[in-house]
Amino acid sequence: MKKIEVTLKNVVNVIREFYKPKVHHFLTLNGVALDESTTEIQWIFSNYKELDHTTVFLTHVKDGDIIPSIVDIIPSAIISQREIVDMFGIKVEDSERGLYLDEDSLQKPLAYGCAL
């Protein structure tokens, strides 16, 4: 697995330069709650020809940060982006909440310290 640290300002350009539709498969946008105000965000890709080769672009976001959308590069990323909004309560550009959770559901269930 190759990990590449990015910033919120450069992640779209880095992914745009990296991503080749016939070479790479976008797996998911993942979050890992590190503490009450910091979440690691990971854009995860595999290689079609080398299935065990994974590239992860990652950055740390704080409460109030807005993650830029990569939907203009990878349209299917909208599902992962909306999942991050629902599960962590993190804002993602042009991604609404309410994909997985009903209004009466526990909100932000994967955020740090959230009891299920």
Q: Domain of residue 19: give its range.
A: 2-92
**Is 17 a member of any domain?**
yes
**Is 36 a member of any domain?**
yes
Structural domain total, the chain:
1
pLDDT tens track for 65-85: 999 999 999 999 999 999 999
User: Please, which contacts does 71-80 make with residues 24 or more away whose CB atoms are closer than 8 Å?
Assistant: 73/12, 73/15, 73/16, 73/19, 74/15, 74/19, 74/26, 76/26, 77/26, 77/29, 80/26, 80/28, 80/29, 80/30
| Global confidence as pTM | 0.88
**Is 107 a member of any domain?**
no
**Is 108 a member of any domain?**
no
- pLDDT score at 44: 98
**Is 48 a member of any domain?**
yes
**Is 81 a member of any domain?**
yes
Q: Mean per-residue pLDDT for 9-37?
A: 96
**Is 24 a member of any domain?**
yes
